[in-house]
Structure 1
Amino acid sequence: MDNLFDLNIEKVLEHWGVEHAIREIIANALDEMTLTGTKEIEISYSDGVCHIRDYGRGLQYIHFTQNENKEKLVATNLIGKFGVGLKDALGVFYRNHIGVTIHSKYSTISLTMAEKAGFDIQTLHAVFFEPKYPTMVGTDVVLTGVKQADLQKAKSMFLVFNSDLELLEKTNYGEVYTNKGDGKSFIYANGVQIASEDNFLFSYNITSMNAQMKKALNRERSNLGRTAYSETIKNILKNCVSTKVMRPLVADIGNVMTGANKDETGWVDIAAYAAKTLNKSGNVVFMTPSERAQLTNDQVEILAHSGRELIMVTDAVFGKISDVVNTFKTVSDEYRQGYKYRFIEYKNLTGDEKETFDLVTPITELVNKKYRRKIPSIKISETIRMDEFGFVTHGIWDPAENAIIIKRSILKSKETFAGVLMHEFAHYVSGYADNTRDFENVLTEMLGFVYSELSIKGEKPKKVGLFKRW
């Protein structure tokens, strides 16, 4: 005996195509496979006839009701949560003249339009027959008159059928995948496509949905607005740690300055997180374009010799990460700590260089007369390390060497040599750093003392480069 089940559908979803209806049938089959732990679903096509087969418990009339499916509501990683997708799909099939036959051990089902009980209204009904295959396992949905292109479109909406997307990393919120070959990005929710993005760096499969997203997914699963899933995408990225995800993100940060970046790196908090995570490798150093432009040639060389990859970031990102990542200060500190001088003995200097270096004697006598301090060693080196500000100097007071060290090239000029030596003596006797009021006071005091001593001797002091930044 045939039984009619009113699906309560008079008008069907006009904006759904056949591919969307097929999507719902595939989604139900995949959910049943997940819930029952049975073998993979099978999808076949031949001469306009499509079979979508699962090996679960078999479709029954109860599955056509519109009540919430409690089993699906409590389960995780399922595509469907409400028992409305099947009914909508059947309505779309009927509107598009697609024949539908559903087989399970409980019954064989087809569709017809019939009068709604007690009313002069025609609605879509499911017709239940005695099962053609009473011993079959699972459910077989047979669609007749389907175009293969529509089936392929439907399958493309599922992550499981997109083998060209490579999984990069899994998190508690979802998964990160590569994009398709054409650069197109797709957003999936538990494996079914809900949106596409033209300017995303990755594709995503969201497996943990917040209330906002669940509401947006109530019935319509296609073309969701970004506001429905952007926060979840951010949570996915903030829980990633692999270089497969972090390195492309950080590499794209440099494109922000030109506007050629992907949308994920336009989110400052994501860019900052990626930078912090990649920094843990220790092989990178972060800098803003303006800071890079101000580096001297010596500093650029030191940066290159550090072996670290330079990552350019915006001022906004740098402001969030500068205290926890490698910066140029990190490089300069390591350089100074590990620096080895190339000292030159007095006997190996040229005659002119020796004549200049011999100014050490009268200068140190003046300093000792004023400050009564033990005079440190005065050494000449082919190279000089950077000072505490990251500048390569002409000379430096180095407590670790207990010496004032002056670069050999300075010996070309007696005036420059004298100025550098006096400058470093000011550091030695005061203990103060450059660009401080205390240091300037000591240097001024020292210069005044030198002038007074020369005046007593009746000598006119020559102009020396004491006020340059060494």
Structure 2
Amino acid sequence: MFDFSKTEKSLVFSLANLAIISKYKIKFNKNEILFSADRIVTKFLKDVDFKILKADNKIDSPVIENATILFYNIPDESLDKLKSMFLNNVTVLESNNEGEVFLNENNNSKIYINGFLVATEKNFLFSYNIKKPTKTIIKKIEKLELPFKRTAYVHKIKTILLNCEKAEIAMYLAKDLEKLDGGQAHDEINWKDVQLHAVKLLNALNKYLFITKSDYVKYYYLIDTAIESGYKPVYISQNIKDIVESEKDFLGKNINTINVFLEKYSKNFEFAYINKDQLTDVEKENLKIVENLLKDLAVELEIKISTNMLETKNKKYHVKNRTLVLKKEILSNIDTTLENAIEGIGRILYPEVDANRAILNLFVKFLKDKQNKFTHVSKINQKESIINKFLNKFKKKDGEKDVR
């Protein structure tokens, strides 16, 4: 693509240098190129056949204003090659002050400077037209150093992307974000500032939920709820999640990670409480067993029954302060009633530990309370039972916990 004959190099030199510094129109005719621009720097018209058809000032000036030039005697094969060097018939996805973004043709990315092709990329998601060339880029064009190496334009590409504001660009980037962990993402999405921009833009434009693959395994039940509420999940890497947790989008809102969604969901959730007299006889009987358990444990807390439940991993109970909310449907089965009630009571009494440890602590408390009642009733103080000896080993430790 960038292999030129001597004659072609002269034309490329003239056209490239004229194009990157002006507002122009170019038309390719039979063996001719018609080039109109707001300014023509005449020093770039070297070793080419041309004539000036129109100009606002003297044609021998160093810079000709609002001029039209005709390049002629161009062989057909050269004309086709020159035509391929200019941006033509593309659908622009987004345009901003820094440049334009458009889809690739045949998975081949092209980099243009003010409409003139300077490089191709094998693993870019988009093609780009840079509107504001740097001094370095202009010097490279003057020396005809084609194709450019990526270092010459990569900063400009980032700047174009970071100035994009449309959802369409963000969605393409979001799809690529999901490929990042598998190593199949395009090169632009490997730039963390571009990743962050895509997340912020999507978050501001619509209801997206940004999750990692491990989030889905851990919170699948909550993600299903989010989807039912209209959220669309977008997978991101753990590294970018760690960054966006503390970021705001372009409207000043928190990024919708799983933690943010859970907080909003919990805050807005309303339980559908029912009275105990609305329970069936079986449900009342099983609830009574739980209430008797609380008496045996000498624990005072409120039990409420709801026909719905805040989505958690078990979905069957919820604890808040000294209240245990049980989902009505579990009360029809004594096993599920006790499983959820015991875990919930443990979470209320021992909030600083995990569920398993809380249940163990609750069991120890239950045994201690039972042993103390047995000792009081039998008034056998001389000999300690085997279980009492065992529990006495932890008496001091348990006493310290009570103080805290």
Aligned: 1:169 with 2:118: no
In structure 1, the partner of 2:72 is 143
Which residue in 2 is equivalent to 1:200? 124
User: Which residue is equivalent to 2:161?
Assistant: 237
Pairing partner for 2:304 from 364, 367, 379: 379
Post-superposition shift, 1:139? 5.3
SS at the partner of 2:209?
strand
CA drift at 1:312: 0.6
1:179 maps to a residue whose letter is L
Please identify, of 231-240 and 408-417, the stretch whose mean Cα deviation from structure 2 is larger: 408-417
Could you give the per-residue CA deviations for residues 146-172 of structure 1, whole angstroms, max 9, x where no partner exists? 23342233133223xx1324151314x
State the shift of 1:31 in Å.
Answer: 6.7
Give the letter for the 1:158 counterpart.
Answer: F
Q: TM-score, normalised by structure 2?
A: 0.74
Letter in 1 for 2:277: K
Alignment of 1:5-20 (within 5 A): 15-16=4-5, 18-20=7-9
Distance 1:363 1:443 in 2: 11
Within 5 A, what are the aligned runs for 1:206-355? 206-210=130-134, 212-296=136-220, 298-324=221-247, 325-355=255-285
Change (3 A) 1:403 1:199: same
| Letter matched to residue 34 of structure 2 | I
Does residue 1:356 correspond to 2:286, yes or no? yes
1:385 maps to amino acid: L
- Confirm whether residue 398 of structure 1 aligns to residue 320 of structure 2: yes
Q: Which residue type is aligned with residue 153 of structure 1?
A: K
Q: Say whether the 8 Å CA contact 1:178–1:203 is kept in structure 2.
A: yes
What is the SS of the residue equivalent to 1:205? strand
Alignment of 1:41-60 (within 5 A): 41=25, 43=27, 45-46=29-30, 49-54=31-36
1-side partners of 2:215 and 2:293: how far apart? 38
Q: Secondary structure at the match of 1:200?
A: coil
Alignment of 1:91-130 (within 5 A): 100-103=49-52
1:454/1:360 Cα in 2 relative to 1: closer, same or farther (>3 Å)?
A: farther
* C-alpha spacing 1:17/1:279, structure 2 compared with 1 (3 Å): farther
**Aligned residues of 2:20 and 2:113 also touching (Cα < 8 A):** no
User: Within the alignment, does 1:22 sit opposite 2:6 as a pair?
Assistant: no
Cα distance in 2 between the residues matched to 1:58 and 1:215: 17
**What SS does the aligned partner of 1:220 have?**
coil
Residue pair 2:93, 2:168 contacting (<8 A) in 1 also = no
Q: In 2, Cα distance between the equivalents of 1:288 and 1:451?
A: 47
Structure 1 residue 252: deviation in Å?
1.3
How far 1:308 moved relative to its partner?
A: 0.9
How far 1:328 sits from its partner (Å)? 1.3
* Paired-residue identity, %: 22
**Partners of 1:51 and 1:393 in 2: CA distance:** 72
The answer (yes or no) to whether the contact 1:246–1:274 under 8 Å persists in 2 is: yes
Task: State TM-score, norm by structure 1.
Answer: 0.65
Deviations 1:258-313 (CA, angstroms, capped at 9, x unpaired): 333222112233222211222223511111112212334x3343232232110011
Question: What is the Cα deviation at residue 225 of structure 1?
Answer: 1.1
Paired with 2:192 and 2:37, the residues of 1 have a C-alpha distance of 47
- Structure 2 residue matching 1:250: 3-state secondary structure: helix
Bigger Cα displacement from structure 2, 210-219 vs 277-286: 210-219
Output the amino acid matched with 1:383: N
- 1:200 is displaced (CA, Å) by 1.4
- SS of 2:239's equivalent in the other structure is helix
Q: What is the DSSP-based 3-state SS (H/G/I as helix, E as strand, rest coil) of the residue aligned with 2:230?
A: coil
Report the counterpart of residue 421 of structure 1 in structure 2: 341
Q: 8 Å contact 1:397–1:403 — kept in the other structure? A: yes
Counterpart for residue 370 of structure 2: 451
Most deviating of 23-32 and 266-275: 23-32
Q: CA deviation at 1:198?
A: 2.5
Q: Which has the higher helix share?
A: 2
Q: Secondary structure at the match of 2:132?
A: coil
Alpha-carbon RMSD across the aligned residues, in angstroms, is: 3.8
Structure 1 189/266 Cα, relative in aligned 2: closer, same or farther at 3 Å?
same
Deviation at 1:427, TM superposition (A): 4.5
Closer/same/farther in 2, CA of residues 260 and 53 from structure 1, 3 Å limit: closer
2:327 to 377, 394, 407: 407
1:167–1:177 contact (8 Å) kept in structure 2: yes
One-letter code aligned to 1:152: D
Answer whether contact 1:257 1:314 (CA < 8 A) is retained.
yes
1:434–1:299: structure 2 CA closer, same or farther, 3 Å change rule? farther
SS in 2 for 1:249: helix
SS state at 1:255 partner? coil
In structure 2, what residue type is equivalent to 1:287?
A: I
Alignment gaps of 5+ in structure 2: 61-65, 248-254, 379-404
Q: Deviations over 1:358-392 (max 9, x none)?
A: 1244234345xx46x5x42x222333214xxx534
Supply the AA of the counterpart residue of 2:316. Answer: H
Query: Counterparts of 1:33 and 1:214 in 2: how far apart (Å)?
Result: 12
C-alpha displacement of 1:419: 5.4
Q: How many residues align?
A: 361
> Cα deviation per residue 1:118-142 (whole Å; 9 max; x = unaligned)?
xxxxxxxxxxxx9xxxxxx945444
CA deviations on 1:70-125 (whole Å, 9 max, x unpaired) are: xxxxxxxxxxxxx4xx33xx1xx6xxxxxx2535699xxxxxxxxxxxxxxxxxxx
